[in-house]
Structure 1
Amino acid sequence: MARFAWIFPVLFLICTCSTLFAEEKDTVVKIYVVYSEHNYHEPWQMKGISSRHGSGVIIHGNRILTNAHVVCDNTFLQVRKSGQAKRYTAIVDMIDHKSDLALLKVNDPDFFKGIVPIGFGHFSRIKDEVYAYGFPEGGDKLSITKGVVSRVEHKKYKHAGSYLIACQLDASLNHGNSGGPIFKDGKIVGIAFQNHAEPQAENIGYMIPIPVIRHFLKDIADNHLDGIPEFGISMQKLENQDMRAFYQMTDIQTGVLINAIYPDSPAIGYLEVNDVLLKINDLNIENDGTIEFRKGERTYLGFIIQQKQINESVTLTVLRKGNLVSVELPLTKALHCCRLVSYRQYETEPEFYIIGGLVFEALAMNYLYEYGGSDFSLNAPTELLNLFYNGFPSKDQKDIVMLAQVLPDDVNIGYHEFINGIISKVNGKTIVALEDLITAFENGEGDYHIIEDIRGFKIVLNRDAVEKSNKRILAKYKISSDRSLKFKSLNKKHY
């Protein structure tokens, strides 16, 4: 018997490993999504119904963690556990588009029977071996691929344009993997969310790592999403020796130059233009704008801010006119609070106003996206693209208000080709935001409405003729309202 004694621990080990594997596998779900998006080129209506699928993982509290981009704009959700046939109806509990994460709920308690949720692991390191679980294209069964973490650095999250920490993997991630868990040693260490789309790149995928996931879960612990903080400033690298000398930096000082502080920035009153930002919470900022977040690893200085919750603070060391100044900065604003043109929005009605068949709209990335999806930069109007990429808000410009479309009618003859013009004035009033345009039309006096764009082009419409035409035009084009819901309270005349 003694010669067989070694078999029992081996069998026990095999059984234990199989149990762990089964627990991981059983927590992975396939998500079926029916969705409908707003039409930003015809902002009074929705697009048709479409469908897609993704992956998710059951976590503590009987919730399913997945990507925001998997479930955004949904009208109906179903989920199915790995190895099961039955689908269960689900709803979105919480969603954060900036971090591309969402939590789903299933009200039927049978869905969670026999499931032991997997816990979270540690922030991944380079060379970690990980396993990606999900339901990619090419089959209906669970797929498991092995990979290695090859990079840990800031990356642009495609879904909402956020610049956050991410981990690069060489595991194969394809459509359908999104939202699926990445496991290491039986723990969740990330959520698959995008891949590198360039044709010359092979097997380059990315996962949302633990710091972003933990921030999201901590943020929504009170059932309210506050978001990820940001400074609301523009910074410039200080890699040129003459620049550093001009701003009175010593040979051992490194940092970045603050060259703009935007309206609504939490830094107003705390920082100044031409301050040199040297440290965040005693971490040195290099001249290239990076900090050492782990020994031998560097990333964008915003990583420290992005670990904080809204209304927490950071301590900054700045060089101001040659003097060291310590600043305790409260982080009161979330990512993208200071953009002139918003990144792509979800579950959000376009902001529009129609008068005399002229359709005015606040420019958003969604409008540009209609010019070819992810390839919109090849086809969208150059002037609008420039504002999206390079525009910044000011006291005199909070929105880009444009003439998005002209609904042809006798009242607007001669103006049918006037589209995508950026409006600067209406009836002599400067247009800072779409609300100003509506007020200028509805409170204007005189016989004519006069609209001017930034090039000086003018549209002149007879006021009485416009008022008589509004109801007719809306009925002709099957439009239920002359404005988006946000501006209903400004409506002096209901058509």
Structure 2
Amino acid sequence: MKVFAQCGVPAVGLSFLVSLLLSLAMPSLAAEDKKVTEASPVETTLATDEVDEVGFPVAKSPIDLTNTEADEMAQSIVKIYTTAEKNSTLAPWNSDSESMIGTGFVIKGNRILTNAHVVESNTFIELQRDGKPDRYEAEVVAISHEADLALLKVKDESFFKKGKFLELGELPRVHQEISVYGFPTGGDTLSVTKGIVSRIEYLEYAHSGLASQAIQIDAAINPGNSGGPALAGNKVVGVAMQVAANGEENIGYMIPPSIINHFLKDLEDGRYDGFPEFAVVTEQLVNPALRSKHNLSKEQTGVLITKVCAGATPEQYLKVGDIITKIDHEPVENNGTVLFQPSKYIDFNYRVDQHQLNDTLHLDIIRDGKPLTVQLPLDRAVTSVYSHDTKPRYFIYGGYVFTPTQLADTCQHRKDYDKNEFKDKTENVSIVKVLAASSNVGYHDLAMRVQLINGQTFNDFRQFYKLMKQVKTPYITLEDLDGYQVVIDRQAAEEEHVELLKRYNMESSQSPDLDDLEAELAKAKP
């Protein structure tokens, strides 16, 4: 991820000279001028009760770090030092450690809020206040990789004797000025950058690969800023999380209050459940011919359902060809958006994200030309595209390193699902590396996804392991979807097994999650 640091030099020119000359003649004017132009840690704008053209209050001044109250609040923004376990996909039996730096802040309940990616796979976490040498040990109490958020608790309660918790505010409006606080690389002190909210969109979170509401700002967010609060007035209106994917300068993204509040509310029962999944694929109804085919009037808007995931709850309530016209009583536009602020629209899935797991989603639909209402249970949680906080799972046989991978697409039409002979499959298994040995000559550069073992299918990694261990034939034949074959001489592979472990400094040829199967198979031997 490429990022650019913000830089800038204040300009001093003719206006300063004119002000200096005027001050000689008019001391009172000079004094007033000094109040406006004097440098301060955070440039401020005057607080006001005025409202803009759409009824929002005009932005109040960001925190002024020169006053006592603001200093207490700044003490509630902390630098996070994380030591994390680093694993290798190609050498899953090995692990190393890496150090990461991020930002967090105190919220109600003596908890620290930060990004999930700041504390992912942690083995040790410390917190430090701005300008203070002391570090405090912390631990993760809840984490949402889907929302890229995590909650920490500090082991030493004396940590909370200073500072105050930061309150969550409302979603900022486009063009509103905000201040982003954090500890970016390049220094040890608290940094403040100001920016303008340029967009509020539905886009992909880099950490999870899932799309959700996000705030785009034109302020620099650099490594170390992650997890830091964005403030408007004295309230948090976002959490810094990532920069533009293509490395555009001074474009950062924040997690909005709606997602933060969802995460915190989810945890009120002491358990994290996640965000509900809407297992339906839709198409926009912008094209006139498409709208005409479905007999829609000019006043009727919505999106067309093109796929309902087989085996998921929506299959009991929705059908291909249904048109969703409203979601939670909010009209869905032909481009698939709903209103979320005056004159501002966002992807309709935003409404799904506002629900907790096991809530009910209210849908107005048109089916075969007739209006219907549907109360859809949201009973399945969406999961991150990537694996997090998990140790690598692996199995090595004959020098072939096997690891499980998630299925690429589990949403299928019913007709495709019914005829799919692999519909019960929950994991793929791939050869990610071949450890060179005499028994696997010719395959040293191989990488492939395994579909069959001696003609047999398997549904997950554990079943794959059992099949491999139970083979009694002289040869094991592995095939991919195209019929490409890898043939393993079972006797030669087993004879080289101990030597391979020594050669590549492996304590075990399999991950601990398979140890119970190894014991089970050993008992079953005659």
- Per the TM superposition, whether the score is higher than 0.5 is yes
> 1:128 offset after TM fit, Å?
2.1
Q: In terms of Rg, which structure is larger?
A: 2
> 1:467 offset after TM fit, Å?
4.0
Are residue 87 (structure 1) and residue 114 (structure 2) matched?
no
- Secondary structure at the counterpart of residue 87 of structure 2: coil
Q: Report the equivalent of 2:388.
A: 346
| Counterpart residue identity of residue 485, structure 1 | P
> 1:432 offset after TM fit, Å?
3.9
Give the one of 198, 221, 224 matched to 2:271. Answer: 224
Q: Report the equivalent of 2:43.
A: none
Give the one of 343, 348, 361 matched to 2:403. Answer: 361
Q: How does 1:223-372 map to 2 (within 5 A)?
A: 223-263=270-310, 265-336=312-383, 343-363=385-405
Q: Report the equivalent of 2:73.
A: 24
Could you tell me whether the CA contact under 8 Å between 1:189 and 1:210 is conserved in 2? yes
**Which deviates the most, 104-113 or 169-178?**
169-178
Q: Report the equivalent of 1:7.
A: none
Are residue 142 (structure 1) and residue 190 (structure 2) matched?
yes
Cα distance in 2 for residues equivalent to 1:451 and 1:60: 55
Could you tell me whether the CA contact under 8 Å between 2:229 and 2:239 is conserved in 1? yes
- Secondary structure at the counterpart of residue 222 of structure 2: coil
Give the one of 132, 135, 138 matched to 2:180. Answer: 132
Identity %: 37
> 1:165 offset after TM fit, Å?
0.8
- When residues 409 and 284 of structure 1 are mapped into structure 2, their CA distance, relative to the original with a 3 A threshold, is same
Are residue 400 (structure 1) and residue 442 (structure 2) matched?
no
| Counterpart residue identity of residue 346, structure 2 | T
Are residue 107 (structure 1) and residue 132 (structure 2) matched?
no
Deviations 1:407-434 (A, max 9, x none): 2223323322322x12221121124433
- When residues 334 and 264 of structure 1 are mapped into structure 2, their CA distance, relative to the original with a 3 A threshold, is farther
- When residues 224 and 15 of structure 1 are mapped into structure 2, their CA distance, relative to the original with a 3 A threshold, is closer
Q: Report the equivalent of 1:179.
A: 227
> 1:15 offset after TM fit, Å?
11
Could you tell me whether the CA contact under 8 Å between 1:261 and 1:272 is conserved in 2? yes
- When residues 271 and 485 of structure 1 are mapped into structure 2, their CA distance, relative to the original with a 3 A threshold, is farther
Deviations 1:100-134 (A, max 9, x none): 11111111122111322121111211222211111
Could you tell me whether the CA contact under 8 Å between 1:152 and 1:165 is conserved in 2? yes
Could you tell me whether the CA contact under 8 Å between 1:232 and 1:264 is conserved in 2? no
Q: Report the equivalent of 1:40.
A: 89
> 1:145 offset after TM fit, Å?
1.9
Give the one of 476, 483, 495 matched to 2:503. Answer: 476
Q: Report the equivalent of 1:378.
A: none
> 1:357 offset after TM fit, Å?
1.9
- When residues 312 and 465 of structure 1 are mapped into structure 2, their CA distance, relative to the original with a 3 A threshold, is same
Could you tell me whether the CA contact under 8 Å between 1:20 and 1:186 is conserved in 2? no
Q: Report the equivalent of 1:116.
A: 164
Q: Report the equivalent of 1:413.
A: 441
Give the one of 91, 115, 130 matched to 1:67. Answer: 115
Cα distance in 2 for residues equivalent to 1:273 and 1:412: 49
**Which deviates the most, 101-110 or 265-274?**
265-274
Cα distance in 2 for residues equivalent to 1:68 and 1:101: 5
Question: Unpaired segments of 5 or more residues in structure 2?
Answer: 1-34, 36-46, 48-62, 418-422
Cα distance in 2 for residues equivalent to 1:250 and 1:439: 59
- Secondary structure at the counterpart of residue 439 of structure 2: helix
Deviations 1:225-260 (A, max 9, x none): 111112122222222222233344344322222222
Cα distance in 2 for residues equivalent to 1:263 and 1:471: 46
Aligned positions, number: 453
- Secondary structure at the counterpart of residue 147 of structure 2: coil
Question: Unpaired segments of 5 or more residues in structure 1?
Answer: 1-9, 337-341, 365-386
- When residues 415 and 15 of structure 1 are mapped into structure 2, their CA distance, relative to the original with a 3 A threshold, is closer
Q: How does 1:376-387 map to 2 (within 5 A)?
A: none
Q: Report the equivalent of 1:379.
A: none
Q: Report the equivalent of 1:6.
A: none
Could you tell me whether the CA contact under 8 Å between 2:402 and 2:431 is conserved in 1? yes
Give the one of 202, 206, 217 matched to 1:169. Answer: 217
> 1:187 offset after TM fit, Å?
1.2
Q: Root-mean-square deviation (CA), in Å?
A: 2.7
- Secondary structure at the counterpart of residue 486 of structure 1: helix
- When residues 134 and 224 of structure 1 are mapped into structure 2, their CA distance, relative to the original with a 3 A threshold, is same
Are residue 451 (structure 1) and residue 478 (structure 2) matched?
yes
**Which deviates the most, 450-459 or 464-473?**
464-473
Could you tell me whether the CA contact under 8 Å between 1:280 and 1:304 is conserved in 2? yes
